[in-house]
Structure 1
Amino acid sequence: MESEKSKFNRMRKKILNIILTEIPIYGFNEKVLIVASQKKDLQRSDIDRIFPEGLDEIKEYFFGEIDKNMIKILSNNNIDKLRIRDRIASSLICRFELFQKHKKSVIHIFSTDFVDPLKSMNRLWKTSDIIWKLAGDQSTDFNHYTKRILLSWVYLTTFICWTKDRDKNFQETKLFLDRRINEVLLFGKTSRKLKESISSLQFTEKILDLIKNLRTIKT
């Protein structure tokens, strides 16, 4: 007999998949929840029960599922045999491959991040932390903070490039990512004092500005 937890998780995935198919038409808003609730074997009360916090909770669940799938795929691909820079690149490419299936929906979801830039920043940080740990990073000093801020910037700028890349294999995005990683590696060779100044002021501000402008991205 299926457990209550299993039923709950299955229902969450079902609702998310229905919503992802409707977002390109209706956007990521309350209307898409209304449309989703009219689908076969689904009611609005089901959505409200499974996701009581609404769109915000659905968004967090979606990115959480992407994180889990990314970790699973990379753990099976023996990326520990790669150079660290290639582990980082492979992780982000894997993430965009997961995004690709529902590209328009993912862009719509990201475009709502301008509403709460700090929350979006925290999510970028969480993803960057996961990727760095997958790459074998164990730093606990100032470098721990710097690496995650820089990777958040790489991730977000590459995401913006990916939104404009019409190639299903997103070759332009991969080249862009490679250039961004090279820039970060050059930054890593600068002095500690300069790193502290740039990472705490410029990169954080750049990321927040990019998040605020996500609403202008076209699907």
Structure 2
Amino acid sequence: MADLSDATLDELREALAAELPAQAAFDGWKPAAVDAAADALGVDRDVARLAFPGGAVDMIDAWFAQVDREMEARLPAEQLSNLKIRDRITRLLETRLDILAPDREALRRALAILAMPQNAPRAVKLGWRSADLMWRMAGDTATDFNHYTKRVTLSLVYSSTIMAFLDDESDDFADTRAFLARRIDNVMQFEKVKAKWRGAGGERPSLTRFIGRLRYPAI
């Protein structure tokens, strides 16, 4: 176990983030979960609470950042470089699901908190952050309209897949993986439409209609 006696709050937050979901599954995203995580790491409880001044949402933010770091560690650039873009995105999303799989109850509780109206701006920010990281890991360098549409669509694919994942009891989450494959098909179709539009100088494809298809897909 790492010595955290002289850790900064940022270092302490990162260390606690790895412990929090196991505790939050039982205690909820509450101070009790921070206390239990602090005990597991041998950290003073009062100091540990200072790492999450915003309460539950800060705790969830730290956990999602930990998932981002774990995804980067599991998928170094050389593992993705020889894959097609579609396969890179699929691999990234499936890896996130693998990381989250042991903590589905904590995830369910976290999403319920983020769904509260007062937490909506933070929820959007967290979704964007993960989508941006996945596109950058996939090699995307777009800076124009494409930059935004890619991240919006991936955020929606990820969120809709998570909803399927939370209730999936199939072996190795086969139903979720099939659901994800269909959503990736939607994204690839949208990218093709955008490419044709750019080449022909036609009317910009409707992002609103596309978002509607992702949010309420025909399964």
TM range (shorter): 0.7 to 0.9
The CA deviation string for residues 50-108 of structure 1, in whole angstroms up to 9 with x for no partner, is 33333222211111111111012111661111110000000000001000121211221
User: In the alignment, what sits opposite 1:73?
Assistant: 74
Are 1:88 and 1:135, in contact at CA under 8 Å, matched by a contact in 2? yes
Q: 1:93 to 1:51 in 2, by over 3 A?
A: same
% same residue: 25
> Quick one: distance in 2 between partners of 1:17 and 1:131?
20
Match of 2:125 among 105, 122, 127: 122
Q: 1:5 to 1:91 in 2, by over 3 A?
A: farther
Q: 1:70 to 1:31 in 2, by over 3 A?
A: same
The more displaced of 125-134 and 73-82 is: 73-82
Relative contact order higher in (CA < 8 Å, ≥ 6 apart): 1
User: In the alignment, what sits opposite 1:164?
Assistant: 167
Answering whether residue 152 of structure 2 is matched by residue 144 of structure 1, we say no
User: In the alignment, what sits opposite 2:60?
Assistant: 59
TM-score (norm 1): 0.79
TM-score (norm 2): 0.79
1:78-97 pair list within 5 angstroms: 78-97=79-98
Letter matched to residue 163 of structure 1: L
Letter matched to residue 113 of structure 2: T
User: In the alignment, what sits opposite 2:102?
Assistant: 101
> Quick one: distance in 2 between partners of 1:101 and 1:108?
14
The more displaced of 102-111 and 64-73 is: 102-111
Count of residues in correspondence between the two structures: 206
User: In the alignment, what sits opposite 1:215?
Assistant: none
The more displaced of 110-119 and 178-187 is: 110-119
Shift of 1:169: 1.6
Which runs of no fewer than 5 residues in structure 1 stay unpaired? 210-219
Which runs of no fewer than 5 residues in structure 2 stay unpaired? 198-202
Are 1:34 and 1:44, in contact at CA under 8 Å, matched by a contact in 2? yes
Shift of 1:36: 5.6
> Quick one: distance in 2 between partners of 1:19 and 1:91?
23
Letter matched to residue 169 of structure 1: D
> Quick one: distance in 2 between partners of 1:27 and 1:138?
38
1:7-22 pair list within 5 angstroms: 11-12=12-13, 15-22=16-23
What SS does the aligned partner of 1:138 have?
Answer: coil
What SS does the aligned partner of 2:54 have?
Answer: coil
> Quick one: distance in 1 between partners of 2:130 and 2:20?
23
